[in-house]
Structure 1
Amino acid sequence: MTDPRFGAGDDGPGDVVPGPSSSAAPPAFSSGVPAAFADAASRAFGARLSLAARYAKLLITDGVVRGLIGPREAPRVWERHLINCAVMSEMIPIGASVTDVGSGAGLPGIVLAVARPDLMITLVEPLARRTAFLSEAVTALGLDATVTVVRGRAEDLVGGPPAAADVVTARAVAPLDRLAGWCLPLAAVGGRLLALKGATAAEEAAEHHEAITRLGGGDPVVRLCGVGLIDPPTTVVEIVRERAVVAPRPRSSGKAADPGRSAGSSGGRGSGKRRSRRG
């Protein structure tokens, strides 16, 4: 039976799509899946594995040249970044709206868009050089129909657009108390924050439990994703937004959030066109 997330034979648009820029690549690393992770990658990305490989190539070429990932990350981009992020999709329901806060190079936002074409994803990132890469990558990978790039800070987006999301994701952004303060207001009541964390996730969840509940979140729960697929599994802290809390507005940076503002953006979801589906 075909997985409804992927569709029959859905491998993304075309086989050859140029990268977001013509920057010279750093010393060669293969974007192909290492043999040790071939099965995990195939199960994580399904029929869209070749699209994931194209994104891997963008990360280890333009991503390194433009300072979005470190050169030492290139040889382990599959296990440490792509598969690590993709397995969290098991916690996201079909057809959900997702806001990825502090998207950086697109982790986990672009990974989720590649693995799950059923999701409607907004990538939130305050830095222009990063939103430029994100918009170019989204277009190069043919993800414009399901992905929007927004330049801005999470706290400036409260009240929308975008509309409150079913799921808010974040990876390596901040401690849980600050993360909850930024991200929970972007989730619908009943929606969830999924924060990718490391080995000390349980201790961090306990430390910030009171602050999280004060911000309208439920008890933080530590989940393991990709058990039996990757070792170690991906650690995710799940926080349900149980109620809306009126919080003091943060001091303004003087810049309004700008949907799709990025260099080289020329249309599609990465250039500020909003969709009405999530209003």
Structure 2
Amino acid sequence: MQGPTEIRSLGPALRSVLVDGAASIGISLGPPQLDAFEAYASAILEWGRRLNLTRILSPEGIVRRHFLDSLACLTAIPDTPGLAIVDIGSGAGFPGVPVKIARPDLRLTLIEASRKRVAFLEMLVMELGLEIGVLHGRAEEISRQIGQWEAYDVVTARATAPLEHLVRLCLPFLRVGGTAVFPKGVRAGTEVRNAMGAISALGGDVMGIKPVKIRGLEGMKRVIVILRKVRSVPTSGPAKGGDQGG
């Protein structure tokens, strides 16, 4: 897969939406980061429909519903420099790649089960010149590989699967004291209640459900479910599969 043949400008208005949204959560985006977001949007517009990356294929939709929604995760990620973060079921790279663009210090790994989407992510990483690892496979299998179990400080997943499934996929990657970050919608409270058994079995605890407050996403009822890994779990612990789509 070759990179996008044309950079489609987001335009000054959408750049301002990005800058203002990031600033509202204390993140400063400079020209190189804005250029990276612009190239990222171009890649999605180029390949999105062909590879079934996302149904949102307008520049404004990409900025607001993908980039800003992903950046909102930064409000739940610790400020400690150099954290190891893994994004499960990354799809088109959300939320991991926008988070990495805004926080270049983070050591990001993307995990994706679809070979076509992995090819897109590999092309994107090369196009953006970012140091990001891309792993092809199912999370429940990769988590048991050497160097993966309880190896990360932060785990994220933006999939539409119920939280109970995401917890089973994601918590095995998280070291004790690490943070799990799940962007969710209005049913987050119900999902958390339904997931309590899995959260406890996999050594997790609920830290809270945080409303998303980022300029540019007003009116979208989004929250972030935040979990903490409080207890180590052996590799023989429970881990059932689920939808890993991004």
Using structure 2 for the length normalisation, give the TM-score. Answer: 0.81
Structure 1: which amino acid aligns with 2:190?
Answer: E
Q: Distance in 1 between matches of 2:162 and 2:89?
A: 13
1:239 matched residue in structure 2: 227
> Who is 2:196 aligned against?
209
> CA RMSD for the aligned pairs?
2.7
Match of 2:166 in 1: 179
Q: 1:63 is matched with which residue?
A: 48
% identical equivalent positions: 31
- The equivalent residue for 1:87 is 72
Q: Which position in structure 2 is the counterpart of 1:31?
A: 10
The aligned counterpart of 2:147 is 161
**1:63 Cα deviation after fit:** 2.3
**Residues 229 and 73 of structure 1: is their aligned pair in 2 closer, same or farther, counting only changes over 3 Å?**
closer
Aligned residue type for 1:196: P
Q: Which moved more, 1:154-163 or 1:185-194?
A: 154-163
Question: Quick check: 2:56–2:62 contact (8 Å CA) kept in 1?
Answer: no
**Kept after mapping to 1: 8 A contact 2:177/2:228:** yes
Given that 2:66 and 2:94 are in contact with CA atoms closer than 8 Å, whether structure 1 keeps it comes out as yes
TM-score by length of 1: 0.72
The aligned residue for residue 29 of structure 2 is 46
Unaligned runs of 5+ in 2: 242-246
Does structure 1 retain, via aligned residues, the 8 Å contact 2:83–2:106? yes
Instruction: Report how far residue 206 of structure 1 moved.
Output: 1.9
The 1:122/1:205 distance shift into structure 2, 3 A limit, reads: same
The 3-state SS of whatever aligns with 2:86 is strand
Q: CA deviation at 1:101?
A: 0.2
Give the equivalent residue in structure 1 for 2:121.
134
Deviation at 1:76, TM superposition (A): 0.8
User: 1 CA distance for matches of 2:132 and 2:22?
Assistant: 23
How many residue pairs match? The answer is 228
Gaps of 5+ in 1: 1-18, 253-279
Larger Rg: 1
3-state SS of 1:183 partner: helix
How far does the alpha carbon of each residue in 1:168-227 deviate from its partner, in whole angstroms, 9 at most, with x for none?
000024211111111101011111111111111122112222331122111252112444
- Aligned twin of 2:244: none
Rounded to whole Å, the distance in 2 between the matches of 1:224 and 1:98 is 22
